[in-house]
Amino acid sequence: MCGIVGYVGPQDARDVVLEGLRRLEYRGYDSAGIAVLADGSLATAKKAGKLANLEKVLAETPLPSATTAIGHTRWATHGGPTDRNAHPHVSADGSVAVIHNGIIENFASLRAECEATGIEFLSETDTEVAAHLLAAAYREAPEGEGRLAEAMRAVCRRLEGAFTLVATHVAEPDTLVAARRSSPLVVGSGRTADGTAEYFLGSDVAAFIGHTRNALELGQDQVVEIDRTRGVSVTDFGGAAAEPVAYTVDWDAAAAEKGGYGWFMLKEIAEQPQAVADTLLGRLGAHGELVLDEVRLSDQELRDIDKIFVVACGTAYHAGLIAKYAIEHWTRIPVEVEVASEFRYRDPVLDRSTLVVVISQSGETMDTLMALRHARDQKARVLAICNANGSTIPRESDAVLYTHAGPEIAVASTKGFLTQVVACYLVGLFLAQVRGMKFEDEVASIVEDLRKLPDAVAQVLAEMEPVRELARSLADADTILFLGRHVGFPVALEGALKLKELAYIHAEGFAAGELKHGPIALIDQGTPVVVVVPSPRSRESVHGKVVSNIQEVRARGALTIVIAEEGDEDVVPYADHLIRVPRTPTLLAPVVTTVPLQVLACEIADTRGLDVDQPRNLAKSVTVE
């Protein structure tokens, strides 16, 4: 998730911006850059890798002192993590510098338009389009105050997608202009020790918390102009005046890197609505067709597929189990889900008609990488689901779908898991479309259901305080069991894994139908049992069977904790604790039912006084077999 910093004021803007970039390092990034406006011209420096690489460049070739600057840490999406793709990007005439967070979906047509005028692009990014368009719009805008803001509004009206843009122009050395659509941006206002006004921009308040706690929250589709003399003014994309929401940050710089949250995991749980939305962004083409990031397989090769393996480890494996239900339902292709560390050692039967879907957040998981290579040796096709642009697994695959979860710092995956599940849905729909199992309007309809998920997840998160209270009461439990059927079974497995990872409590997830085949012997008086209940609308009376399972464990003394959709009254008599989630199509339900289990595990671990972000013995990415 890119970090954005801007500054206008009496201090040396270079130092202020670099300090802000350091505070945003927690967000994760793969390149960094800065632009200053001094002596009537723009000066930039940018470098792939960590901020230390950029600082080394600046030590060798310092930028001039300035009172206006912008800075950026980039998480690669369009184009790899290279020096030339790093931000800021400068227009062809050298007048405009731009930094950007998000994705400009219609960049290809806009780039072609720019190239038709003779502009030569220097990067692979969608961001550079905005720089060239903004320079052209500035030339056409009326002269006078607010010219850069008017140019920004004109450009934003042409852009599709989600974005935050920050720009500066050589003709307006004391001004920054920024815009936001479905991507975060906040304004800071403060005063130096001598009372001089200064202004800040940031992708979150951590960027400027060392200078001020006074912030302005911008609304959707708004442009903000910051000028040293005139202060802050905000309009919508049409030019109508808008009023930003002012607030005071109630935490200090020491907590800034976590965005005010006690744990990175809490922050990442809260980021899930945006992460899911970003993963869905730009997936439908101009004619309703589904679009993946990179596909080096022909439609005919995909139509020839007669078997699919999903291969992954840990949490990603649970995402793969959910994928099986969706892919088989939508494509009618048989799907097997394999633990990556076992896959190649059992000598699976693979050929050119086999598709192997590998799931890895880091793209460097060694077990998964070796499974991928084994599949390639057997001539199978490989499709990767990954969160790290340019990592090994995507590079060695025939097709890639990136999850745009942004960096995930806590070891236990939360938003990484939800975005992997969403990506699996997209893969299933893509295959169904290519193979003629779903028409474009059917795909579009399901994608529309997917697009409702961010709001559904946000609703769940807004109603989690009773879950936190419940978690605190369970902190001394020795064992907690999880039950589920259909897509609820992988959710139960994931809930148990989270609890084991974070709270070091014995936890097991079971298919509810297996209860009578042994696991019911674990039930003792007061044993907490979490049951993920399918929708009453689910097929073949699965709902009724799970309600019977709840009765069975309750009759043996279990403390029943039931996750059920709104309106399901059948579970009420048998639930000691009832957690409601929004009504969601059955196959998509894991995206909402998983969230309470994340919160439950996190709160139990915190109550037990444990390190939520870095559980003992665990690493974020397993790079050895």
Residues marked active site are found at 2, 620
Decide the pairing of beta strands 3-8 and 197-202: antiparallel
Residue 562 φ/ψ, nearest 5 degrees:
-110, 125
The candidate with the shortest Cα–Cα distance to 70, out of 47, 93, 52, 96, is: 96
As given in the structure block, the two tokens for residue 527 are: 């044993």
Q: How far apart are CA 351 and CA 355, in angstroms?
A: 9
**What is the CA angle 119-402-456, rounded to 5?**
115
Beta bridge partners of residue 354, listed in sequence order: 307
Question: How many angstroms from the chain centroid is the CA of residue 343?
Answer: 28
Q: How far apart are CA 115 and CA 81, in angstroms?
A: 23
Cβ contacts of 183 within 8 Å, gap of 6 or more = 101, 102, 162, 163, 164
The candidate with the shortest Cα–Cα distance to 572, out of 597, 536, 596, 542, is: 536
Q: How far apart are CA 217 and CA 499, in angstroms?
A: 35
Burial classification of residue 472, based on how many CB atoms lie within 10 Å of its CB (0-12 exposed, 13-18 middle, 19 or more buried): middle
As given in the structure block, the two tokens for residue 335 are: 């799907």
The 3-class secondary structure across 88-152, one letter per residue, is: CEECCCCCEEEEEEEEECCHHHHHHHHHHCCCCCCCCCCHHHHHHHHHHHHHHCCCCCCHHHHHH
For 475, other C-beta atoms within 10 Å of its C-beta total 16
Rg (CA), the chain: 26
- Are the C-beta atoms of residues 499 and 601 closer than 8 Å to each other? yes
Is 218 strand, coil or helix? coil
Assess whether the previous peptide bond of 596 is cis (omega < 30° from 0). no
Give the Å distances, CA to CA, from 54 to 24, 34, 57, 94, 350.
Answer: 15, 9, 5, 21, 46
Q: What size, in residues, is the chain? A: 625
Burial classification of residue 74, based on how many CB atoms lie within 10 Å of its CB (0-12 exposed, 13-18 middle, 19 or more buried): buried
As given in the structure block, the two tokens for residue 539 are: 């097929």
Q: At 202, which amino acid appears?
A: G
Q: How far apart are CA 7 and CA 168, in angstroms?
A: 11
What is the residue-wise DSSP string for 145-190? Answer: TTHHHHHHHHHHTT--EEEEEEEEETT-TTEEEEEEESS--EEEEE
Q: What is the dihedral of CA 502, 507, 510, 515, to 10 degrees?
A: -160
Q: Where would I find the beta strands (DSSP E) of 417-487?
A: 479-484
The 3-class secondary structure across 229-283, one letter per residue, is: CCEEEEEECCCCECCCEEEECCCCHHHHHHCCCCCHHHHHHHCHHHHHHHHHCCC
Cβ contacts of 48 within 8 Å, gap of 6 or more = 30, 31, 81, 82, 83, 85, 86
